[in-house]
Structure 1
Protein backbone atom coordinates (compact mmCIF):
# COMPACT_ATOMS: atom_id res chain seq x y z
CA UNK A 1 0.00 0.00 0.00
CA UNK A 2 1.21 3.47 -0.77
CA UNK A 3 2.29 5.61 2.15
CA UNK A 4 -0.02 8.38 0.96
CA UNK A 5 -2.99 6.13 1.59
CA UNK A 6 -2.15 6.10 5.30
CA UNK A 7 -1.85 9.86 5.77
CA UNK A 8 -5.58 10.71 5.98
CA UNK A 9 -6.23 7.95 8.51
CA UNK A 10 -3.17 8.82 10.58
CA UNK A 11 -4.44 12.38 10.84
CA UNK A 12 -7.92 11.13 11.61
CA UNK A 13 -6.54 9.02 14.44
CA UNK A 14 -5.50 12.11 16.41
CA UNK A 15 -7.42 12.37 19.69
CA UNK A 16 -10.91 13.70 19.16
CA UNK A 17 -13.88 12.69 21.27
CA UNK A 18 -16.22 13.40 18.36
CA UNK A 19 -14.46 10.80 16.22
CA UNK A 20 -14.10 8.00 18.76
CA UNK A 21 -15.87 4.81 17.82
CA UNK A 22 -18.94 4.01 19.88
CA UNK A 23 -19.19 0.40 21.04
CA UNK A 24 -22.95 -0.06 21.26
CA UNK A 25 -25.49 -2.73 20.39
CA UNK A 26 -26.56 -0.90 17.23
CA UNK A 27 -23.14 -1.17 15.57
CA UNK A 28 -21.16 -3.71 17.58
CA UNK A 29 -23.41 -6.49 18.80
CA UNK A 30 -20.41 -8.35 20.24
CA UNK A 31 -16.65 -7.93 20.48
CA UNK A 32 -14.39 -8.61 17.50
CA UNK A 33 -12.74 -11.50 19.38
CA UNK A 34 -13.22 -14.92 17.81
CA UNK A 35 -13.03 -16.52 14.36
CA UNK A 36 -15.01 -15.14 11.42
CA UNK A 37 -15.62 -16.56 7.94
CA UNK A 38 -17.37 -15.51 4.74
CA UNK A 39 -20.04 -17.19 2.63
CA UNK A 40 -20.25 -20.94 3.13
CA UNK A 41 -17.80 -20.67 6.06
CA UNK A 42 -15.56 -23.31 4.47
CA UNK A 43 -12.41 -21.21 4.98
CA UNK A 44 -11.13 -20.90 8.54
CA UNK A 45 -7.94 -19.77 10.20
CA UNK A 46 -5.95 -22.28 12.22
CA UNK A 47 -4.20 -25.58 11.55
CA UNK A 48 -6.64 -26.77 8.87
CA UNK A 49 -5.62 -24.12 6.34
CA UNK A 50 -1.85 -23.51 6.28
CA UNK A 51 1.42 -25.00 7.51
CA UNK A 52 4.00 -22.19 7.85
CA UNK A 53 6.85 -24.61 8.59
CA UNK A 54 6.88 -26.02 5.05
CA UNK A 55 4.84 -23.21 3.45
CA UNK A 56 2.00 -25.39 2.26
CA UNK A 57 -1.79 -25.13 2.15
CA UNK A 58 -4.78 -27.40 2.63
CA UNK A 59 -7.35 -26.36 0.04
CA UNK A 60 -10.92 -25.80 1.32
CA UNK A 61 -13.88 -26.99 -0.73
CA UNK A 62 -14.84 -23.43 -1.70
CA UNK A 63 -13.23 -20.00 -1.77
CA UNK A 64 -13.57 -17.57 1.10
CA UNK A 65 -11.87 -15.42 3.71
CA UNK A 66 -11.45 -15.92 7.45
CA UNK A 67 -10.17 -13.58 10.17
CA UNK A 68 -9.43 -14.36 13.81
CA UNK A 69 -8.77 -11.95 16.67
CA UNK A 70 -7.69 -12.53 20.27
CA UNK A 71 -8.54 -10.28 23.19
CA UNK A 72 -4.85 -9.43 23.71
CA UNK A 73 -4.06 -8.01 20.27
CA UNK A 74 -3.23 -10.90 17.92
CA UNK A 75 -4.81 -11.68 14.55
CA UNK A 76 -4.66 -14.29 11.79
CA UNK A 77 -6.01 -14.19 8.21
CA UNK A 78 -6.69 -17.03 5.76
CA UNK A 79 -7.73 -16.21 2.18
CA UNK A 80 -8.62 -18.42 -0.78
CA UNK A 81 -9.57 -16.35 -3.82
CA UNK A 82 -9.85 -16.30 -7.60
CA UNK A 83 -8.84 -13.18 -9.52
CA UNK A 84 -10.42 -12.76 -12.95
CA UNK A 85 -8.76 -11.47 -16.11
CA UNK A 86 -11.06 -9.36 -18.28
CA UNK A 87 -8.90 -9.61 -21.40
CA UNK A 88 -8.27 -13.36 -20.99
CA UNK A 89 -11.34 -14.94 -19.33
CA UNK A 90 -9.70 -18.36 -19.07
CA UNK A 91 -6.67 -16.95 -17.24
CA UNK A 92 -8.16 -16.97 -13.75
CA UNK A 93 -5.55 -16.72 -11.01
CA UNK A 94 -5.98 -18.74 -7.81
CA UNK A 95 -4.40 -17.26 -4.67
CA UNK A 96 -4.04 -18.81 -1.21
CA UNK A 97 -2.81 -16.42 1.51
CA UNK A 98 -1.96 -16.88 5.18
CA UNK A 99 -0.64 -14.20 7.54
CA UNK A 100 -0.71 -13.42 11.26
CA UNK A 101 0.61 -10.81 13.66
CA UNK A 102 -0.65 -8.09 15.99
CA UNK A 103 -3.53 -5.67 15.56
CA UNK A 104 -4.48 -2.34 17.08
CA UNK A 105 -7.95 -0.81 17.34
CA UNK A 106 -7.59 2.92 16.71
CA UNK A 107 -9.88 5.38 18.51
CA UNK A 108 -11.46 6.59 15.25
CA UNK A 109 -12.68 3.06 14.46
CA UNK A 110 -9.89 1.90 12.13
CA UNK A 111 -7.76 -1.23 12.55
CA UNK A 112 -4.03 -1.61 11.85
CA UNK A 113 -2.73 -5.17 11.38
CA UNK A 114 1.05 -5.67 11.55
CA UNK A 115 2.43 -9.08 10.47
CA UNK A 116 5.09 -11.08 12.31
CA UNK A 117 6.99 -11.61 9.04
CA UNK A 118 6.31 -15.28 8.32
CA UNK A 119 3.21 -14.90 6.14
CA UNK A 120 3.14 -16.45 2.66
CA UNK A 121 0.90 -17.07 -0.31
CA UNK A 122 0.63 -19.48 -3.22
CA UNK A 123 -0.23 -18.11 -6.66
CA UNK A 124 -1.47 -20.32 -9.50
CA UNK A 125 -1.83 -18.70 -12.92
CA UNK A 126 -2.27 -21.12 -15.85
CA UNK A 127 -1.29 -18.41 -18.34
CA UNK A 128 1.90 -17.20 -16.65
CA UNK A 129 5.46 -18.26 -17.44
CA UNK A 130 5.69 -19.69 -13.91
CA UNK A 131 2.24 -21.08 -13.27
CA UNK A 132 2.57 -22.11 -9.62
CA UNK A 133 4.78 -20.50 -6.99
CA UNK A 134 5.07 -19.57 -3.31
CA UNK A 135 6.01 -16.07 -2.17
CA UNK A 136 6.19 -14.16 1.09
CA UNK A 137 3.19 -12.07 2.11
CA UNK A 138 3.83 -9.64 4.93
CA UNK A 139 1.94 -6.44 4.24
CA UNK A 140 0.71 -4.20 7.03
CA UNK A 141 -3.03 -3.89 6.46
CA UNK A 142 -5.14 -0.87 7.33
CA UNK A 143 -8.92 -1.05 7.64
CA UNK A 144 -10.83 2.21 7.67
CA UNK A 145 -13.64 0.94 9.89
CA UNK A 146 -15.50 -2.13 11.13
CA UNK A 147 -18.96 -2.98 12.39
CA UNK A 148 -20.62 -6.05 13.88
CA UNK A 149 -24.34 -6.56 13.37
CA UNK A 150 -26.60 -9.32 14.64
CA UNK A 151 -27.98 -11.39 11.76
CA UNK A 152 -31.32 -13.00 12.70
CA UNK A 153 -30.26 -16.33 11.16
CA UNK A 154 -26.47 -16.58 11.38
CA UNK A 155 -25.78 -14.44 14.45
CA UNK A 156 -22.93 -11.89 14.68
CA UNK A 157 -21.79 -10.59 11.27
CA UNK A 158 -18.52 -8.67 10.86
CA UNK A 159 -18.19 -5.92 8.26
CA UNK A 160 -14.66 -4.68 7.51
CA UNK A 161 -13.85 -1.74 5.24
CA UNK A 162 -10.43 -1.45 3.63
CA UNK A 163 -8.22 1.67 3.72
CA UNK A 164 -10.03 3.10 0.68
CA UNK A 165 -13.50 2.34 2.07
CA UNK A 166 -14.16 -0.70 -0.12
CA UNK A 167 -15.91 -3.48 1.83
CA UNK A 168 -14.57 -6.92 2.60
CA UNK A 169 -17.16 -9.65 2.13
CA UNK A 170 -19.26 -9.96 5.32
CA UNK A 171 -18.00 -12.58 7.76
CA UNK A 172 -20.02 -14.61 10.24
CA UNK A 173 -18.71 -15.66 13.62
CA UNK A 174 -17.98 -19.39 13.51
CA UNK A 175 -16.36 -19.47 16.95
CA UNK A 176 -16.32 -17.05 19.87
CA UNK A 177 -12.91 -18.53 20.74
CA UNK A 178 -10.26 -17.68 18.12
CA UNK A 179 -9.05 -20.69 16.13
CA UNK A 180 -5.44 -19.76 15.39
CA UNK A 181 -1.92 -21.05 15.05
CA UNK A 182 0.52 -19.98 17.82
CA UNK A 183 0.66 -16.19 18.14
CA UNK A 184 4.37 -15.80 17.42
CA UNK A 185 6.68 -16.00 14.43
CA UNK A 186 6.69 -19.65 13.35
CA UNK A 187 9.66 -19.66 10.98
CA UNK A 188 13.11 -18.06 11.09
CA UNK A 189 12.82 -15.70 8.15
CA UNK A 190 15.35 -12.88 8.20
CA UNK A 191 14.15 -11.36 4.92
CA UNK A 192 10.45 -11.30 5.60
CA UNK A 193 9.73 -7.59 5.98
CA UNK A 194 7.05 -6.11 3.73
CA UNK A 195 9.65 -4.75 1.32
CA UNK A 196 11.35 -8.11 0.78
CA UNK A 197 10.04 -10.88 -1.41
CA UNK A 198 11.16 -14.42 -1.94
CA UNK A 199 9.48 -16.92 -4.21
CA UNK A 200 9.89 -20.49 -5.30
CA UNK A 201 8.15 -22.45 -8.01
CA UNK A 202 6.16 -25.54 -7.12
CA UNK A 203 7.17 -28.60 -9.12
CA UNK A 204 5.40 -31.08 -6.85
CA UNK A 205 1.90 -30.91 -5.48
CA UNK A 206 0.50 -32.38 -2.29
CA UNK A 207 -2.70 -34.38 -2.33
CA UNK A 208 -4.73 -31.40 -1.14
CA UNK A 209 -3.34 -28.93 -3.66
CA UNK A 210 -5.11 -27.96 -6.85
CA UNK A 211 -3.67 -26.66 -10.10
CA UNK A 212 -5.65 -24.63 -12.62
CA UNK A 213 -5.36 -25.11 -16.37
CA UNK A 214 -7.03 -23.09 -19.16
CA UNK A 215 -9.45 -25.95 -19.87
CA UNK A 216 -10.22 -26.51 -16.21
CA UNK A 217 -10.77 -22.83 -15.51
CA UNK A 218 -13.69 -22.64 -17.91
CA UNK A 219 -15.72 -24.82 -15.58
CA UNK A 220 -15.16 -22.31 -12.78
CA UNK A 221 -16.76 -19.37 -14.57
CA UNK A 222 -20.35 -20.40 -13.87
CA UNK A 223 -19.61 -21.08 -10.19
CA UNK A 224 -17.79 -17.76 -9.82
CA UNK A 225 -20.77 -15.87 -11.21
CA UNK A 226 -23.03 -17.71 -8.76
CA UNK A 227 -20.74 -16.95 -5.81
CA UNK A 228 -20.48 -13.31 -6.85
CA UNK A 229 -24.25 -12.96 -7.02
CA UNK A 230 -24.63 -14.61 -3.61
CA UNK A 231 -22.09 -12.24 -2.04
CA UNK A 232 -24.11 -9.25 -3.25
CA UNK A 233 -27.17 -10.61 -1.49
CA UNK A 234 -25.35 -11.06 1.85
Structure 2
Protein backbone atom coordinates (compact mmCIF):
# COMPACT_ATOMS: atom_id res chain seq x y z
CA UNK A 1 0.00 0.00 0.00
CA UNK A 2 1.08 3.57 -0.69
CA UNK A 3 0.46 5.01 2.78
CA UNK A 4 2.67 2.54 4.71
CA UNK A 5 5.38 3.05 2.11
CA UNK A 6 5.24 6.82 2.56
CA UNK A 7 5.32 6.41 6.34
CA UNK A 8 8.38 4.18 6.09
CA UNK A 9 10.13 6.70 3.85
CA UNK A 10 9.25 9.50 6.25
CA UNK A 11 10.66 7.58 9.21
CA UNK A 12 13.91 6.96 7.33
CA UNK A 13 14.15 10.61 6.36
CA UNK A 14 13.58 11.76 9.93
CA UNK A 15 16.21 9.33 11.17
CA UNK A 16 18.72 10.81 8.76
CA UNK A 17 17.84 14.31 9.94
CA UNK A 18 18.83 13.43 13.51
CA UNK A 19 22.29 14.92 13.33
CA UNK A 20 25.32 14.26 15.47
CA UNK A 21 24.63 17.61 17.17
CA UNK A 22 21.70 15.95 18.97
CA UNK A 23 24.10 13.73 20.95
CA UNK A 24 24.05 14.74 24.60
CA UNK A 25 27.68 15.15 25.80
CA UNK A 26 26.57 14.79 29.43
CA UNK A 27 25.97 11.07 28.86
CA UNK A 28 29.74 10.71 28.39
CA UNK A 29 30.48 11.79 31.97
CA UNK A 30 31.68 9.01 34.26
CA UNK A 31 34.27 6.25 34.53
CA UNK A 32 33.95 3.51 31.92
CA UNK A 33 35.77 0.17 31.83
CA UNK A 34 35.86 -2.77 29.41
CA UNK A 35 35.54 -6.47 30.19
CA UNK A 36 35.46 -7.42 33.85
CA UNK A 37 36.27 -3.87 34.92
CA UNK A 38 39.67 -4.63 36.43
CA UNK A 39 41.34 -1.72 34.62
CA UNK A 40 40.16 1.58 36.10
CA UNK A 41 41.31 5.16 36.04
CA UNK A 42 41.82 7.29 39.11
CA UNK A 43 42.34 6.62 42.76
CA UNK A 44 40.44 4.23 45.00
CA UNK A 45 36.85 4.74 46.11
CA UNK A 46 37.95 6.90 49.06
CA UNK A 47 39.94 9.24 46.83
CA UNK A 48 43.28 7.82 47.98
CA UNK A 49 46.26 6.76 45.90
CA UNK A 50 47.04 3.17 46.92
CA UNK A 51 49.05 0.22 45.67
CA UNK A 52 45.95 -1.03 43.87
CA UNK A 53 45.69 2.12 41.74
CA UNK A 54 46.49 1.41 38.08
CA UNK A 55 49.10 4.17 37.95
CA UNK A 56 50.86 6.36 40.50
CA UNK A 57 51.83 9.58 38.67
CA UNK A 58 54.01 10.80 41.55
CA UNK A 59 56.14 7.64 41.68
CA UNK A 60 55.61 7.00 37.95
CA UNK A 61 54.74 3.42 38.80
CA UNK A 62 52.19 1.00 37.30
CA UNK A 63 50.33 -1.79 39.07
CA UNK A 64 49.47 -4.67 36.72
CA UNK A 65 45.72 -5.49 36.92
CA UNK A 66 44.31 -9.02 37.08
CA UNK A 67 43.12 -8.83 33.46
CA UNK A 68 43.71 -6.61 30.46
CA UNK A 69 41.26 -3.88 29.53
CA UNK A 70 40.55 -0.25 28.76
CA UNK A 71 39.18 2.51 30.95
CA UNK A 72 38.22 6.09 30.16
CA UNK A 73 36.91 8.77 32.48
CA UNK A 74 35.27 12.04 31.49
CA UNK A 75 34.39 14.89 33.85
CA UNK A 76 31.58 17.37 33.32
CA UNK A 77 34.07 20.25 33.07
CA UNK A 78 36.02 18.84 30.11
CA UNK A 79 38.77 16.64 31.57
CA UNK A 80 39.60 13.07 30.62
CA UNK A 81 41.78 10.23 31.87
CA UNK A 82 42.57 6.85 30.33
CA UNK A 83 44.16 3.65 31.62
CA UNK A 84 44.95 0.84 29.19
CA UNK A 85 46.46 -2.63 29.57
CA UNK A 86 46.76 -4.78 26.46
CA UNK A 87 48.82 -7.55 24.88
CA UNK A 88 50.45 -7.66 21.44
CA UNK A 89 51.70 -10.82 19.74
CA UNK A 90 54.58 -11.28 17.31
CA UNK A 91 53.46 -13.45 14.34
CA UNK A 92 57.05 -14.31 13.42
CA UNK A 93 57.78 -15.44 16.98
CA UNK A 94 54.60 -16.60 18.78
CA UNK A 95 56.40 -17.02 22.09
CA UNK A 96 57.33 -13.32 22.04
CA UNK A 97 54.30 -11.35 23.18
CA UNK A 98 54.43 -7.93 24.74
CA UNK A 99 52.27 -6.36 27.43
CA UNK A 100 51.68 -2.62 27.47
CA UNK A 101 50.40 -0.42 30.28
CA UNK A 102 49.43 3.12 29.31
CA UNK A 103 48.12 6.10 31.23
CA UNK A 104 47.48 9.74 30.37
CA UNK A 105 45.07 12.55 31.21
CA UNK A 106 44.19 16.01 29.95
CA UNK A 107 41.22 17.78 28.37
CA UNK A 108 38.60 16.70 25.88
CA UNK A 109 36.25 18.35 23.42
CA UNK A 110 33.04 17.00 21.93
CA UNK A 111 31.96 18.17 18.49
CA UNK A 112 28.80 16.32 17.53
CA UNK A 113 29.72 12.66 17.29
CA UNK A 114 33.45 13.42 17.26
CA UNK A 115 35.58 13.34 20.39
CA UNK A 116 39.11 14.72 20.75
CA UNK A 117 41.27 14.07 23.82
CA UNK A 118 44.37 16.24 24.28
CA UNK A 119 46.76 15.02 27.01
CA UNK A 120 49.00 17.05 29.30
CA UNK A 121 52.57 16.67 28.07
CA UNK A 122 54.88 15.39 30.77
CA UNK A 123 52.25 13.49 32.76
CA UNK A 124 51.50 10.43 30.64
CA UNK A 125 53.46 7.19 30.79
CA UNK A 126 53.71 3.90 28.91
CA UNK A 127 55.37 0.72 30.16
CA UNK A 128 56.31 -2.11 27.81
CA UNK A 129 57.03 -5.62 29.09
CA UNK A 130 58.17 -8.71 27.21
CA UNK A 131 60.67 -11.56 27.38
CA UNK A 132 62.05 -10.70 23.94
CA UNK A 133 62.41 -6.98 24.61
CA UNK A 134 65.67 -5.34 25.58
CA UNK A 135 65.28 -4.27 28.31
CA UNK A 136 62.42 -6.58 29.25
CA UNK A 137 60.68 -3.76 31.12
CA UNK A 138 60.81 -0.19 29.84
CA UNK A 139 59.04 2.94 31.08
CA UNK A 140 58.69 6.01 28.85
CA UNK A 141 56.82 9.28 28.82
CA UNK A 142 53.65 9.17 26.73
CA UNK A 143 51.58 11.91 25.13
CA UNK A 144 49.29 11.11 22.23
CA UNK A 145 46.20 13.01 21.12
CA UNK A 146 43.26 10.63 20.71
CA UNK A 147 40.56 11.39 18.19
CA UNK A 148 37.36 9.37 17.99
CA UNK A 149 35.34 9.75 14.80
CA UNK A 150 32.18 8.54 16.51
CA UNK A 151 30.88 7.59 19.94
CA UNK A 152 27.58 6.53 21.43
CA UNK A 153 26.16 5.60 24.82
CA UNK A 154 23.43 3.01 25.24
CA UNK A 155 21.76 0.63 27.68
CA UNK A 156 23.19 -2.91 27.55
CA UNK A 157 20.78 -5.63 28.69
CA UNK A 158 23.09 -8.60 28.03
CA UNK A 159 26.06 -7.90 30.30
CA UNK A 160 28.34 -10.94 30.05
CA UNK A 161 30.90 -9.90 32.67
CA UNK A 162 28.31 -8.77 35.23
CA UNK A 163 25.67 -11.57 35.37
CA UNK A 164 23.95 -10.08 38.42
CA UNK A 165 23.25 -6.83 36.59
CA UNK A 166 20.02 -6.68 34.60
CA UNK A 167 21.36 -3.78 32.56
CA UNK A 168 24.28 -1.34 32.46
CA UNK A 169 25.12 1.84 30.60
CA UNK A 170 27.57 1.19 27.79
CA UNK A 171 29.97 3.34 25.78
CA UNK A 172 31.20 2.52 22.28
CA UNK A 173 33.86 4.68 20.63
CA UNK A 174 35.36 4.41 17.16
CA UNK A 175 38.82 5.54 16.09
CA UNK A 176 39.49 7.57 12.94
CA UNK A 177 40.15 4.40 10.96
CA UNK A 178 36.77 2.99 11.98
CA UNK A 179 38.21 0.42 14.37
CA UNK A 180 36.06 0.21 17.52
CA UNK A 181 37.56 0.66 20.96
CA UNK A 182 36.52 -2.26 23.20
CA UNK A 183 33.01 -1.69 24.50
CA UNK A 184 33.02 -0.25 28.01
CA UNK A 185 30.50 -0.13 30.85
CA UNK A 186 29.79 2.67 33.29
CA UNK A 187 31.46 1.99 36.64
CA UNK A 188 31.30 5.34 38.43
CA UNK A 189 29.35 8.57 38.02
CA UNK A 190 30.73 11.06 38.95
CA UNK A 191 34.00 9.75 37.52
CA UNK A 192 36.89 8.26 39.50
CA UNK A 193 39.91 10.29 38.41
CA UNK A 194 43.35 11.53 39.40
CA UNK A 195 43.71 15.32 39.90
CA UNK A 196 42.56 16.83 36.62
CA UNK A 197 45.24 19.52 36.49
CA UNK A 198 48.68 19.05 34.93
CA UNK A 199 51.01 17.34 37.43
CA UNK A 200 54.40 17.74 35.74
CA UNK A 201 55.94 19.81 32.99
CA UNK A 202 57.52 18.15 29.98
CA UNK A 203 61.31 18.30 30.06
CA UNK A 204 62.75 18.50 26.56
CA UNK A 205 65.45 15.86 26.12
CA UNK A 206 64.33 13.72 29.06
CA UNK A 207 64.50 9.94 28.47
CA UNK A 208 61.45 8.78 26.57
CA UNK A 209 60.10 12.30 26.04
TM-score band, normalised by shorter chain: 0.7 to 0.9
Please, which runs of 5 or more residues in structure 2 have no aligned partner? 1-16, 44-52, 158-165
Q: Answer with 1 or 2: which has the greater Rg.
A: 2
Paired with 2:184 and 2:206, the residues of 1 have a C-alpha distance of 30
Partner of residue 97, structure 2: 92
Tell me what 2:42 maps to.
Answer: 46
Moved over 3 A (4+): 17-21
Aligned length: 175
Report the counterpart of residue 109 of structure 2 in structure 1. Answer: 104
CA offsets 1:114-152 (integer angstroms, 9 cap, x no match): 001110011012112221110111011110000111012
- TM-fit CA distance, 1:54: 1.8
* Distance (whole Å) between structure 1 residues aligned to residue 63 and residue 124 of structure 2: 15
Counterpart Cα distance in 2 of 1:63 and 1:113: 22
Counterpart in the other structure of 1:174: 187
Task: State whether structure 2 residue 207 is matched by structure 1 residue 198.
Answer: yes
Q: Deviations over 1:24-45 (max 9, x none)?
A: 7xxx9x7000000000011100
Gaps of 5+ in 1: 1-16, 201-234
Alignment RMSD: 2.1
Residue in 2 aligned with 1:12? none
TM-score, with normalisation over the residues of structure 1?
0.70
Q: CA deviation at 1:197?
A: 7.2
Closer, same or farther: CA 140–51 of 1 in aligned 2, 3 Å: same
Question: Of the candidates 187, 195, 214, which is equivalent to residue 200 of structure 2?
Answer: 187
Structure 1 CA distance, aligned partners of 2:170 and 2:18? 26
Cα displacement string for residues 86-114 of structure 1 (whole angstroms, at most 9, x for unaligned residues):
1111111010000000000013x110100
- The separation in 2 between residues aligned to 1:49 and 1:34, in whole angstroms, is 17
Structure with a larger share of its residues in strand: 2
Query: What are the within-5 Å matches in structure 2 for residues 1-234 of structure 1?
Result: 19-23=19-23, 31-47=27-43, 48-107=53-112, 109-117=113-121, 118-152=123-157, 153-191=166-204, 198-199=207-208
